[in-house]
Amino acid sequence: MAAESWLIWALIAGMALIAFLTRAVFILPGSHLRLPPTAERVLRYAPAAAIMAIIVPDLALAHGALSISIENPRLVGGLVAFAIAAATRSILATIVGGMLALTLVRQFAG
């Protein structure tokens, strides 16, 4: 289960570099440079696209195969979480509700 140690340390180092550089890119040179509007839009669309592209396969694939079924606990848990997040905007409620739905489906569909 656990990935190799060097891989995780390399991941941490790479992410630390990325996290610092994306924040420092304009602050550190002290530049007055403004982003062109199109670039700014790309920078806004990309994170939401990436997050959705991580979430959807995690919910809808089971062992690499499409699993659209009320007996797929992750799909049901995820959809419940989407509904709660839209209604409450609370991350805590979203996580608790999604985990509860996951557990219930496992109990009754498993």
Partner 1 sequence: MQRAQISALREGALASVGLLVGIVPWGIVAGVAMVSAGLTQAQAVAMSLLVFAGTAQLAVLPLLIAKAPLWVMIATALVVNLRYVIYSGVLAPHFEHLPRRWRVLLSYVTVDGVFALFAGRYRPDDGNRHKHWYFLGGSLVMWWAWQISSGVGIFAGAMIPWEWSLEFASTLALIGVLIPLLFDRAVAWGALAAGGVALIAARLPLNLGLLAAIVVGVAVGLAVARLGPRNGEGRD
* Per CB under 8 A, 45 contacts partner 1: yes
Residue 43 beta carbon to partner 1: minimum distance, rounded to whole angstroms: 5
* Per CB under 8 A, 34 contacts partner 1: yes
Binding residue for partner 1, selected from 72, 75, 94, 105, defined by CB under 8 A: 94
Contact 76, 105 (CB under 8 A): yes
Binding residue for partner 1, selected from 92, 107, 108, 110, defined by CB under 8 A: 92
Residue 30 beta carbon to partner 1: minimum distance, rounded to whole angstroms: 4
* Per CB under 8 A, 49 contacts partner 1: yes
The angle at the Cα of 6, spanning 4 to 8, to the nearest 5 degrees, equals: 75
d(CA 59, CA 98): 11
* Per CB under 8 A, 53 contacts partner 1: yes
d(CA 71, CA 108): 9
d(CA 68, CA 71): 8
